[in-house]
């Protein structure tokens, strides 16, 4: 009879984390910036067909980096949960925290039980009073952010740049400008294409709108 | 090994349909009511209609629900926007019909979010037929739902409308359609007064006229109630999307229609 070789849990977690981080670092980043009327989501994305930012519910949006098929599963699960809650109860009963918690549980369970962790980081934004920004990492850790948030390979330096440039009461153009500049500094090169969307409280029931950037 | 993941993450892919998701998760209550539903008295919606004009389609519904020979609701709403470019109107058992509309609205938005694109108008009409057909066992018990569906078709650039029957049959109508207790009366009026080159305003006038005309002979249909200020619901759908007319905008058409009654 053979016994499986014992591996210390610290080592398992460390190796899985390294693996996931490497996967995420290869991908491009996404930033979320609060402005006067809502939240701007800005991604560096050369593809016009494959989207990283998506509407989840009336006031909630999703953004994901890393492996496309993996964050796509999360995105769909988020939309399902939100639509289900809204249908069974009321549209007012759907909030970003419930969606973020679900992602956190799912990613946490996958990280500890599956041989391969998900190589993704996701961001959930909600426009309201106050706005909410949640960041969920590959191991299910849930962060509650204010004003700006960033995910992806260059997340830390990007968030740092954004925090320095952020001011109260930005309009959407100003938020876009500081977002683009933060990307340029973080990546040390010009962008190969943008994907941008807003959750804007002046948009009516469905606050989500994609922005067409002429660049 | 089955992972104990949150429910929505771990289900066998139900595609992009919200209705199928509800079914997979066991939320669709199986309403096995057996016999005897004929004796059940529930509010019923009455006449709704839609007609085309150049550049779109208008949809109009009265505001009354009846329960046997009594008025159950005077200000019920039977015409709803389904999404940005289409609308659905209902006749039949109000409780079931309004729930069907709610599911249909969530379904269209759910598809749009999951797939990143909207269903075609024909796709929406086909899906609604499926929802009607799922109610077939209830129809045999006397609880039926017959919707009317209309919208602006972005692919062909014109207004289109569809009528249904209780078994989920879907019929595209060329110019106008109506369903509910006063439908045949409304259709006679429309047949006599419809013209291909209607503007939106003319279509609203004729549509409200048809409703008022139906209300004269069908006691279940509620005409405009000028004293209480209750007016038909009027939705105008064109390339800009669905727009609901306010009571102030409907009032002139309603007054004209009431005046024309002989």
Q: Is the peptide bond before A130 cis (omega within 30 degrees of 0)?
A: yes
pLDDT at B5: 53
Among A79-93, B25-39, B129-143, the minimum mean pLDDT is found in B25-39
Task: Tell me which of A106-115, A156-165, A192-201, B33-42 is least confident.
Answer: B33-42
Query: Average per-residue pLDDT in chain B?
Result: 89
- Please say if the pLDDT value at position B258 is more than 70: yes
Is residue B12 in some structural domain?
A: no
Quick check: B14 pLDDT over 70? Answer: no
Query: Chain A within 8 Å of B110 (Cβ-Cβ)?
Result: yes
∠A118-A121-A127 over CA atoms, to 5°?
A: 140
The distance of A203 to chain B (nearest Cα, Å) reads: 13
Residue in the structure block whose two tokens are 């998760």:
B25
For residue B248, pLDDT over 90 is answered with yes
Question: How many domains does the structure of chain B reveal?
Answer: 1
Q: Is B116 on the interface with A (CB under 8 A)?
A: yes
Mean per-residue pLDDT for A34-59? 94
CB pairs under 8 A between A and B: 53
Nearest to B8 among A54, A55, A80 (CB): A80
Mean pLDDT of the B103-128 span:
95
Residue B28 belongs to some domain of the structure: no
CA B208 to chain centre: 16
Angstrom distance (rounded) from CA B173 to CA B171: 6
Contacts of B4 in chain A (CB under 8 A): 109
* CB contact (8 A) between residue B3 and residue A113: yes
Partner residue opposite A102 with nearest CB, options B3, B6, B106: B6
Average pLDDT on B135-142 reads: 83
The confidence band for B39, taking pLDDT boundaries of 50, 70 and 90, is: low
In a mutational test of the A interface, the residue from B3, B8, B109 whose CB has the highest number of chain A CBs within 10 Å is B8
- For range B114-121, the mean pLDDT: 93
**pLDDT at A129 exceeding the cut of 50:** yes
Distances (CA, A) of A139 to A13, A32, A71, A114, A121: 9, 21, 13, 11, 9
User: Residue B106 is nearest to which of A56, A74, A87, comparing CB atoms?
Assistant: A87
- Is the pLDDT assigned to residue A148 strictly greater than 90? yes
B104 touching A, CB under 8 A? no
Evaluate whether residue B30 is within a structural domain. no
Which pLDDT band, with edges at 50, 70 and 90, does A192 fall under?
confident
In the 3-class helix/strand/coil scheme, how is A31-65 assigned residue by residue? EEEEECCEEEEEEECCCCCCCCEEEEECCEEEEEE
A102·B8 Cβ contact <8 A? yes
CA gap A84, B171 in Å, rounded: 31
Task: Report pLDDT for B3.
Answer: 42
Q: In chain A, what residues touch B28 (CB-CB under 8 Å)?
A: none
Residue B37 lies in a domain: no
B6 pLDDT above the threshold of 80:
no
B219 in active site: no
Cβ-based contacts of A110 with chain B (< 8 Å): 3, 5
pLDDT tens-digit series, residues B63-101: 988 888 888 888 999 999 999 999 999 998 888 899 999
- For residue A108, pLDDT over 50 is answered with yes
Residue A74 sits at the chain B interface (C-beta within 8 Å): yes
For A9-211, CATH number out of 1.10.10.10, 3.10.580.10, 3.60.20.10, 3.50.50.60 equals 3.60.20.10
Question: Which of B5, B10, B100, B112 is the best mutation test for A, with the most CBs of A within 10 A?
Answer: B5
B103/A83 Cβ within 8 A: no
Is the model's pLDDT at B38 over the cut of 80? no
ipTM above 0.85, yes or no: yes
- With a pLDDT cut of 70, the percent of chain A lying above it is 99
Asked if B102 lies within 8 A of A87 by C-beta distance, the reply is yes
* Minimal-distance CA residue of chain B relative to A54: B113
Domain positions in chain A: 9-211
Would you say residue B114 has pLDDT above 80? yes
CB atoms within 10 A of CB B221: 27
- Among B60-69, B103-112, B117-126, name the one with the lowest average pLDDT: B60-69
Domain carrying residue B73: 42-259
Which residues from chain A sit within 8 angstroms of residue B21, using beta carbons? 80, 83-84
Residue of B24, B28, B42, B46 marked active site: B46
B31 domain residue, yes or no: no
| Mean pLDDT within B19-30 | 80
Q: Mean pLDDT over residues A187-202, rounded? A: 92
Range among A42-51, B61-70, B98-107 rated most confident: B98-107
In the three-class reduction of DSSP (H, G, I as helix; E, B as strand; rest coil), residue B159 is classed as strand
In percent, how much of chain B has pLDDT > 70? 90
pTM, rounded to two decimals:
0.91
B195 has a chain A CB within 8 A of its CB: no
Q: Quick one: DSSP state of residue A27? A: S
Judge: B5–A110 Cβ closer than 8 Å, yes or no: yes
Is the pLDDT confidence value at A1 over 70?
Answer: no
CB atoms B9 and A77 under 8 Å: yes
Q: How many CB atoms lie within 10 A of CB B262?
A: 3
């Amino acid at each position: 009879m053979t016994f499986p070789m014992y591996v210390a849990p610290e080592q398992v977690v460390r190796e899985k984390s390294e693996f996931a981080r490497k996967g995420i670092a290869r991908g491009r980043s996404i930033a979320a910036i609060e402005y006067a009327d809502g939240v701007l989501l800005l991604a560096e994305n050369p593809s016009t067909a494959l989207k990283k930012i998506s509407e989840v519910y009336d006031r909630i949006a999703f953004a994901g980096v890393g492996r496309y098929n993996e964050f796509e599963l999360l995105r769909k699960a988020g939309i399902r949960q939100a639509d289900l809650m809204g249908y069974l109860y009321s549209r007012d009963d759907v909030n970003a925290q419930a969606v973020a918690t679900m992602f956190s549980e799912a990613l946490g369970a996958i990280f500890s039980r599956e041989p391969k962790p998900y190589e993704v980081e996701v961001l959930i934004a909600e426009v309201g009073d106050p706005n909410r920004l949640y960041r969920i990492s590959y191991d299910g850790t849930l962060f509650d952010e204010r004003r700006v948030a960033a995910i992806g390979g260059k997340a830390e330096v990007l968030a740092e740049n954004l925090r320095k440039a952020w001011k109260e009461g930005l309009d959407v153009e100003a938020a876009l400008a500081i977002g683009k500049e933060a990307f340029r500094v973080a990546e040390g090169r010009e962008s190969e294409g943008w994907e941008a969307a807003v959750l804007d409280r002046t948009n009516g029931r469905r606050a989500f709108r994609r922005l067409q950037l002429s660049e | 090994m089955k992972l104990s993941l949150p429910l929505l993450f771990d289900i066998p892919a139900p595609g992009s349909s919200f209705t199928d998701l509800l079914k997979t998760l066991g939320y669709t209550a199986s309403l096995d009511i057996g016999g005897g539903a004929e004796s059940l008295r529930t509010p019923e919606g009455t006449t709704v209609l839609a007609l085309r004009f150049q550049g779109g389609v208008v949809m109009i519904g009265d505001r009354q629900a009846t329960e046997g020979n009594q008025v159950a609701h005077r200000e019920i709403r039977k015409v709803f926007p389904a999404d940005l470019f289409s609308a659905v109107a209902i006749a039949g058992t109000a409780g079931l019909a309004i729930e069907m509309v709610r599911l249909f609205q969530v379904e269209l938005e759910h598809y749009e979010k999951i797939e990143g694109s909207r269903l075609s108008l024909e796709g929406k009409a086909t899906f609604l037929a499926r929802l009607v057909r799922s109610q077939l066992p209830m129809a045999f018990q006397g609880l039926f739902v017959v919707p009317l569906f209309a919208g602006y078709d972005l692919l062909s650039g014109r207004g289109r409308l569809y009528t249904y029957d209780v078994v989920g049959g879907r019929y595209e109508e060329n110019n106008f359609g109506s369903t509910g207790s006063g439908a045949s009366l409304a259709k006679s009026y429309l047949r006599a007064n419809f013209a291909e080159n209607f503007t939106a305003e003319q279509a609203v006038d004729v549509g409200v006229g048809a409703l008022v005309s139906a209300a004269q002979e069908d006691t279940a249909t509620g005409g405009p109630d000028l004293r209480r200020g209750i007016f038909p619901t009027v939705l105008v759908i064109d390339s800009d999307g669905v727009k609901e007319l306010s009571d102030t905008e409907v009032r002139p058409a309603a007054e004209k229609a009431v005046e024309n009654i002989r």
